[in-house]
Amino acid sequence: MPPRTRSGNRRDETARLDVLHAADDLLVEHGFGGLTVEAIAKRAGVAKQTIYRWWPSKVDILLDTLIEDTEKRLPIPTDPPTADTIREYLRAYARFVTEDPAGKVLLTLIAESQHNPATAKTFHERYLGPRREQERAMITAATDAGEITPKLPPDATLDVLLGPIVYCALTNSPIPRTLANTLIGELLGPR
């Protein structure tokens, strides 16, 4: 790797990206156990101090990558929402969580939140909360437009739609193929 150009007294964007990518790569390649600050620093070609200067802990690094990657690879549909766009979102969600490296980051952060209340808090504030807000908007918009008639309030609806997907991903079981269809049919259905 060529020595990166020094940025003087401004934050070095290259270093920031190198760290995010190194964290991502290490997580995928060596699991959370291999994700040490020491290893990230070495892989990114960065001093440990540079990491600690900008991130309180390694989960904050993961959070940053997750936020950026989710926006890119699992966008909330922008079309006027219908049962169909929601179905498509669920399918994308399932793919994200099982196949995308960023999905692995999501599962890791859910996991780490169980071990560490501070992680749980930040994870909520910076990821789960904002994300849920957008998803809720999607549900209520579809409801208001008469596209769907959910059997449960919006948040409960989302828990029921996403919960099984996440649960399957966490327990490493395949996500049943008919799951999205059935849930949408029975829980958002006309009657």
Partner DNA sequence: GCGTAAGCGAGACGGTACGTCTGGTCTTCCT
Partner DNA sequence: AGGAAGACCAGACGTACCGTCTCGCTTACGC
**Should residue 57 be labelled a site residue for DNA when binding is judged by CB under 7 A?**
yes
Please tell me the distance from the alpha carbon of residue 76 to that of residue 105, in angstroms, as a whole number.
18
Residue 10 or 191 having the CB closest to DNA: 10
Least distance to its own copies, CB of residue 68, Å: 21
Tell me the three-class secondary structure of the chain, residue by residue.
CCCCCCCCCCCCHHHHHHHHHHHHHHHHHHCHHHCCHHHHHHHHCCCHHHHHHHCCCHHHHHHHHHHHHHHHHCCCCCCCCCHHHHHHHHHHHHHHHHHCHHHHHHHHHHHHHHHCHHHHHHHHHHHHHHHHHHHHHHHHHHHHCCCCCCCCCHHHHHHHHHHHHHHHHHCCCCCCCCHHHHHHHHHCCCC
Residue 34 or 153 having the CB closest to DNA: 34
Please tell me the distance from the alpha carbon of residue 70 to that of residue 102, in angstroms, as a whole number.
7
**Should residue 15 be labelled a site residue for DNA when binding is judged by CB under 7 A?**
yes
Phi, psi of 133 (to 5 degrees): -60, -45
Residue 17 or 181 having the CB closest to its own copies: 181
Least distance to DNA, CB of residue 10, Å: 5
Least distance to DNA, CB of residue 18, Å: 7
Residue 78 interacting partner from DNA, its own copies, none (CB closer than 5 to 8 Å by kind) = none
Could you say which of 17, 29, 52, 84 contacts DNA (CB under 7 A)? Answer: 52
**Should residue 191 be labelled a site residue for DNA when binding is judged by CB under 7 A?**
no
Least distance to DNA, CB of residue 190, Å: 52
Site of interaction with its own copies (CB under 8 A): 31-33, 107-108, 110-117, 120, 124, 128, 151-153, 155-156, 159-160, 162-168, 170-173, 175-176, 178-179, 182-183, 185-187
Residues in contact with DNA by CB under 7 A are: 3-12, 15-16, 18, 34, 36-39, 45-50, 52-54, 57-58
